Amino acid sequence: MLYEESDSWSTKREILSLFAQDYTKPQLITMVPGLSKWRIDEVRKHAALVGPGKPLDVPNVHRMKLDPVKVDHFIDFVSSPNYLQDVAYGTRTIKLTNGEAFEIPNVECAASQQKSLSGLDNIATEGSSAFQTLHDVAAQLSKAELLNSKNYLKTDYKIHIASESRCGDHCCIHALSSSETEFKTKCKHKHDDECDQCQMLKTTLQEIDDASKSTADQVIHDITTAVDKIKAWKSHILRTVHQETAKTVVLGDLKLTQIMLVIDWAMKFIPSCYRETQADWYGKKGRPWHVAAVISKNSENGELEVQTYVHVFNQCTQNWFAVVLIVENVLEEVRRSNPNIKEAFIWPDNAGCYHAAQLILSIPAISKRVGINVRRYDFSDPQSGKDICDRRIAVMKSHMRSYLNEGNDINSASDMKRALDSYGSVKSCRVAAVDVDVSKQVMTDHKWKGIQSLNNFEFLSTGIRVWKAVGKG
């Protein structure tokens, strides 16, 4: 009998479903040895839902196995306190458009700027804190206007900024032109338009200033300081957006023979051991490391690609001479790997080591020695514009933490290089443990009056052309 030869219950169930409806349970139990009432019910259920004699359609289930090391790396990255911040108390409820409500921990996903312990933009943080100061001392005024003005600076104001605008608060030419003739550009249009949001900010600040004249001296000082910080924040946003145009224009017109070099010092790496004693934990000295992101165009598909060059030091003074050696070394490596590169555009942070006269005056000599002509040297506004370096640094820090958690120590520059090169290294990243040879430093001092106010430099055969703001003057 075919039923008795079958090994699986699913096959037996299909066979019995052909005639299970034609007999009673006692008859079926007599006919088929070992058949229970529960199995008769299952057979009849199969005949009713699937069909007599038809096989049950079982969907295929695919399971994927992940490498535990990669899973730990991903969890460590997404749960890093640099990207996620909660508080240990309270919850809040958020509602969707369909009326469904969710309860989440307080502060997480909050629609406002969160203050972390380090690495924040000073101007933006002080400007945001200034709004809270005005909230505290201006109870007699509408707090809604202050809140709307704060949200406007954080969102729509960046979109409204334009090279030419009939609104004076949005016009880059009007806002960034200096009183000096050399750094001034006249607008070809009138400023006869007003922005409601900008006017509301001015009116609110003026009302608070007027109200403060009848209050105590301490309150007057708090309000004056807060108003100045808010105005500085607004100016910082405008300068940041405008300076970004220099990078945007270069990347939009980047040729196969050109590169953009974004450079920045990372925060010093604190040496760590897999199992660290208390004596080793105290009194550590950080290891300096510098990141240079080289952006070029792929010759095959025309897309932009990034190659990162990292220099790690056991000890190094982060001054202009160290930057000169790093920039020259990076350009040499780029020329060696791609001889077709002829021109470079450098986009540094606005730190003092990058804004030194000695460094800027050394660039033409670097171009001549390396064979890559540095055409422009444009600064981002302080504490902004180096996002690509920050992203690469975050990935490399996570890679080193994974290496450390697997039982390794990272105490020296060579250990950092070994960690970054482990497991096939970080994608598109080259690391070198180096030292600065100060004996090669020839230029020790140079004065360039007013260089701190200059943010854009173009290197010509006849000299250096400078601007305080991109294209203004």
What element of type H or E holds 432?
A: strand 429-433
Least confident of 62-71, 333-342, 347-356, 396-405: 62-71
Least confident of 382-391, 399-408, 409-418: 382-391
Across 348-376, average pLDDT: 89
What element of type H or E holds 55?
A: none
pLDDT grade for 109, boundaries at 50, 70 and 90: very low
- Where on the phi/psi map is residue 349: left (φ > 0), alpha (ψ -120 to 50), or beta? beta
Residues with Cβ within 8 Å of 152's Cβ and at least 6 positions away in sequence, in order, are: 197, 201
Query: What domains appear along the chain, each with residue ranges and CATH number?
Result: 9-50 (no CATH), 122-241 (no CATH), 257-467 (3.30.420)
Query: Phi, psi (5° rounding) for residue 348?
Result: -95, 170
pLDDT grade for 104, boundaries at 50, 70 and 90: low
- pLDDT at position 147 over 70: yes
Residue-wise pLDDT for 270-301, tens only, equals 998 888 877 777 778 889 999 999 999 988 88
- Name the more confident of 300 and 116: 300
pLDDT grade for 335, boundaries at 50, 70 and 90: very high
Instruction: Report how far residue 457's alpha carbon sits from residue 360's, in angstroms, rounded to the nearest whole number.
Output: 8
Q: What is the pLDDT of residue 415?
A: 93
Beta bridge partners of 308: 293, 429
- Name the more confident of 119 and 70: 70
pLDDT grade for 261, boundaries at 50, 70 and 90: very high
Residue-wise pLDDT for 38-95, tens only, equals 888 988 988 888 888 888 887 888 777 788 888 888 877 766 655 555 454 456 677 7
Using alpha carbons only, what angle is made at residue 329 by residues 328 and 332, rounded to the nearest 5 degrees?
Answer: 85
Instruction: Report how far residue 114's alpha carbon sits from residue 125's, in angstroms, rounded to the nearest whole number.
Output: 9
Q: What is the pLDDT of residue 433?
A: 93
Average pLDDT score over the chain: 81
Tokens 């008769």 — which residue? 40
Q: What is the pLDDT of residue 211?
A: 65
Contact 268, 245 (CB under 8 A): no
Residue-wise pLDDT for 154-194, tens only, equals 878 888 888 788 888 888 878 877 777 777 788 888 888 88
Across 111-131, average pLDDT: 62
Predicted TM-score of the model (pTM) = 0.60
What element of type H or E holds 400?
A: helix 387-405
Across 247-274, average pLDDT: 89
Q: What is the pLDDT of residue 170?
A: 85
- pLDDT at position 5 over 60: yes
Q: State whether the Cα torsion 190-191-194-197 is positive or negative.
A: positive
Task: Residue 76: name the closest of 403, 469, 453 by CA.
Answer: 403
Amino acid letter at 367? S
Least confident of 52-56, 241-245, 365-369: 241-245
Contact 241, 235 (CB under 8 A): no
- Name the more confident of 124 and 306: 306
User: Which tokens belong to 139?
Assistant: 């109870």
Contact 130, 225 (CB under 8 A): yes
Q: What is the pLDDT of residue 80?
A: 63
Q: What is the pLDDT of residue 187?
A: 84
Task: Residue 412: name the closest of 199, 203, 269 by CA.
Answer: 269
